[in-house]
Chains A and B, each alone.
Chain A
Amino acid sequence: MFEVKNLCMIYDPDTDEKMYALKGLDLTLPDKGLIGIIGPSGSGKSTLMYCLSTLKQPTEGSIIYNGTELTGISMPEKERVRREEFGFIFQKHYLVPYMGAVDNVIVAGDQKSRGLERKAEELLLDLGIKEKEFGKKPARLSGGQCQRVAIARAMMNDPRVIFADEPTASLDHDNAFHVMDVLKKYSEERLVLVVTHDKSILKNSDRIIEMWDGEIGTPENGADK
C-alpha cells in the first residue's frame, strides 16, 4: 500500500546545522495489518506517520500510496485522501467540546451519505460506549470513553488506513488493551499504523518498526522486526 523511498525530513533546512527528523527512510507497508512504530521521543516516528498521512510534506523522497505519489499531489487532493481514505487517532482526542459523542463521530463521515447517525451509533456500541452516553459531550465522558469516541471517528469513513499517534497515552491498562483489540480487529481488513512509546500494547501487532534518530532500526541491530 505504501512504498517509501529515501524519505527525508529536515527541520530548518536553511541553517548550517541541519536537523534531520527522518534520514533517507525506505519502507514498504502492506494493505492490511497492525503495524507498530516505536522509538524514543525525537526518533522521528510521529514525523514518519504525519508524512505518510500527508499532514507533513517531506523535504525529500517519495511516498507512493496505491500507485499515487503523495508528495506531488495538490492540497485539495491531499485533503480528499485524508478525508476519504485515512482515519486519524491523535494523542489527545481532539473531540469537539460542544458536540455529543455521536456528532463527534459523524464529523469524519461523508456528510452527503445517508445513515450517518446509525453508523456512528454502531461504531460507538462496538467500542463499548453505551447508548445513554451517545449524547454526552466530551467533558462528561471519561478519558477512555473520549479516546474510544475518537477511534470511532477515525473509523467512520471506513478508511483504508488508520494512523494512530499514541492512541493509548491517556488510558489505563485495561482501556489501552481494549483499544488495541479494536484496532487489531480493524487491521484484519485494513492497515493500522500505531505510533507508541509503549511496546507492551503492540504484543498483537503484525510488525513493529523501531526508529532511532530518524532512521529505522536501533543502534544495536540496525533493523526492524
Chain B
Amino acid sequence: MIGTSGLSAWKYIKNNKKAAGTVMMAVALVFTGIYVIYVLLMTSVESFGPVVHRMPSKLAFVYLGGDPEFQAGLIDDLKTCPGVRDAYFTQVIMATYRAVVGQLNYEVPLMDTDKIPVFLDHMDAELIDGRLPEGDGEMLVDSVIMRNMNLQTGGWFMEGDYGKTFRIVGVIESPYMVSAGTPMGFTNTGWYTVIEKDESLWDFTGLLESLGYEIKGNDTVIDGPAYEEFYEDSVVDVIDNVLDVIFLLVMIFLAVTVIIAYVSFMRSRVSEYCLYASIGYSAFSIYGMLMREMIIIFAAGSVIGTVMGLIGSAVFKEFLIVPMGLICRVFYPAQIVRILAVYILIIGILQIPALIGINSIKTIDAIED
C-alpha cells in the first residue's frame, strides 16, 4: 500500500497493466523523442563550437580593400604587433562543415607550397595520410572535414562550388580543424590578409584601429569576436529558438492529449469513486489515490524515457553523428530537468479536472435516487 489514506494506487496500475503501461510508454516516448531531437540539434552547437572558438585563436583574416601598396603596408604594420607570427595577402576559399541542422562556412587559405609546412606547424597539424601539396590546386583537408563531407584522398574539394579545381592530396589532423592548399589560377574567391598569430590576439578590429586603420562598412575582419558573434547569432540562438518551438509544440500537444485522456479516464471510474465515498473514504483520500496513480505513471514514464533517451542518443551518436565527423554529447542534465519540469507542470494542470471530478463525486444513494 502507498500512503496511509487507505486507497492504494498500485491496485489500478497492477490490474490495468495495459492501460497504465500505454500511458507510461506514451509519457516515456514523448520524453525520449524530445530528448533525442535536442541531442541531434545540439550537435550543431557542439560541433561548430570548437571551430569558432579554436581556429580564431591561431588565425585571422582581414580585408580592408586598397591597392597592393596599401596591403603591403598593412602586412608590415601587422608583423610589428606582438603575437603576430606571420601575415600575407593570399587567396582564401570557403569550406563547409555540415551538422544535422545547419552548416558552418569557414575560410581555407591557399598559399605557396613552401609556406604549407610552416602553416601546418603553426596550426599544430599533422599529415596523417597522403602527401603535402607539390603543385597548383592541391589540398590538405582536416580528417573531421573529410568524414563530414564524405571526401576521399584524390577527390575534389568543394567540387560543388569550385568544380574540379582543388584535388585532395593529403589528410591532416589539427586541434583547430584547419585545411589549406595551393592556388590554381582560379580567382573567383576571396582575397584576404591571412594572419598567423598566437592566442594573445583575439580582437583584430581593436588592433587595427589602434594601428590607425579605419574599419569601413565593406571591410571584413574575421577574428575571434566575429566568429563568436556568428556562432551566438547564427548557431546557438537559432538552434535554441528551433528547440524552444519544438519543445513548446510537443508539450502543448502532450498536455492537451493528457488532459482529454485523463477526463475520460476519470469518467470511466465514476462508480468506483462513488463507492469509495459511500463506504467512508473522504474526497481527499480519493484525490490522494488519483494523484499517487498519476505520479507513479509519470515518474515511471520519465525514468523509462530518460533511459531510452540516453540509449537512443548514444546509438545516434555512434551510428549517425560520429561518422558524419560531428561532435555529440549524450548527457544533457539540464534538458532532462526541463522535460521533468514540464511534466510536473502537466501534473499541476491535471489538478483542475481531478479536483472538479472529485468535488462532483456523489455517494451511491444519490446515483440510485
Contact = CB atoms under 8 A, between A and B. Distances in A.
Q: Do A and B come from one complex?
A: yes
Interface stretch (B9-17, B189-197, B218-226): B9-17
Interface in B240-284: 271-272, 274-276, 278-282
Nearest to B285: A79
Interface stretch (B38-46, B48-56, B102-110, B360-368): B360-368
Interface of B: 1, 4, 6-8, 11-12, 15-16, 271-272, 274-276, 278-282, 363-365, 368
Given A94-B271, A96-B275, A103-B11, A76 B282 contact: yes
A84 B4 contact: no
17 contacts: A46-B368, A50-B365, A76-B282, A79-B282, A83-B280, A83-B281, A88-B278, A90-B278, A90-B368, A91-B368, A98-B16, A99-B11, A107-B275, A107-B279, A111-B8, A112-B4, A165-B368
Contacts of B271: 94
A86 B278 CA distance: 10
A115 B322 CA distance: 58
A81 interface: yes
Given A88-B279, A94-B271, A55 B363 contact: yes
Contacts of A91: 368
Interface residues of A, number: 33
Contact of B280 (A84, A94, A96, A98): A84
A203 interface: no
A111 B1 contact: yes
Given A94-B271, A94-B364, A108 B1 contact: no
A140 interface: no
B15 A82 contact: no
Q: Lowest 8 A-B CB distances belong to which pairs?
A: A83-B280, A82-B280, A111-B6, A50-B365, A98-B15, A55-B365, A94-B275, A79-B280
A9 to B, nearest CB: 11
A80 interface: yes
Contacts, number: 65
A56 interface: yes
A80 B368 contact: no
Contact of A86 (B274, B280, B364): B280
A214 interface: no
Contact of B15 (A56, A75, A90, A100): A100
A82 B280 CA distance: 5
Q: Which of A80, A86, A94, A112 gathers the greatest number of chain B CB atoms within 10 Å? A: A94
A97 B306 CA distance: 33
Contacts of A96: 272, 275
A112 B3 CA distance: 10
Contacts of B16: 98
B64 to A, nearest CB: 78
Given A55-B363, A94-B275, A111-B8, A81 B280 contact: yes
Interface centre among B7, B280, B363 (most CB of A within 10 A): B280
B274 to A, nearest CB: 7
A217 B15 CA distance: 48
A38 to B, nearest CB: 17
Given A103-B11, A103-B15, A111-B6, A80 B364 contact: no
Contacts of B281: 79, 83
Contacts of B7: 107, 111
- A76, A88, A91, A92 interface centre (most CB from chain B within 10 Å): A88
A79 B284 CA distance: 11
Given A97-B272, A99-B11, A107-B7, 20 more contacts: A46-B365, A46-B368, A55-B365, A75-B282, A79-B282, A80-B280, A82-B278, A82-B280, A83-B279, A88-B364, A90-B364, A90-B368, A94-B274, A94-B278, A98-B12, A98-B15, A103-B11, A107-B276, A110-B6, A112-B4
A84 B364 CA distance: 18
B177 to A, nearest CB: 60
A96 B278 CA distance: 13
A170 B354 CA distance: 33
Q: Which of A46, A79, A91, A99 has the most CB of B within 10 A?
A: A79
Contacts of B279: 82-83, 88, 107-108, 153
A94 B274 CA distance: 9
Contacts of A84: 280
Nearest to B368: A91
Interface string A156-199: 00000000010000000000000000000000000000000000
A165 B368 CA distance: 10
Contacts of B275: 94, 96, 107
Given A91-B368, A94-B271, A96-B272, A55 B278 contact: yes
A92 B274 CA distance: 13
Interface in A68-87: 75-76, 78-84, 86
Contacts of B365: 46, 50, 55-56
A112 B282 CA distance: 16
A171 to B, nearest CB: 17
A105 B271 CA distance: 16
Nearest to B19: A98
A21 to B, nearest CB: 10
Nearest to B271: A94
A123 B230 CA distance: 76
A195 B299 CA distance: 46
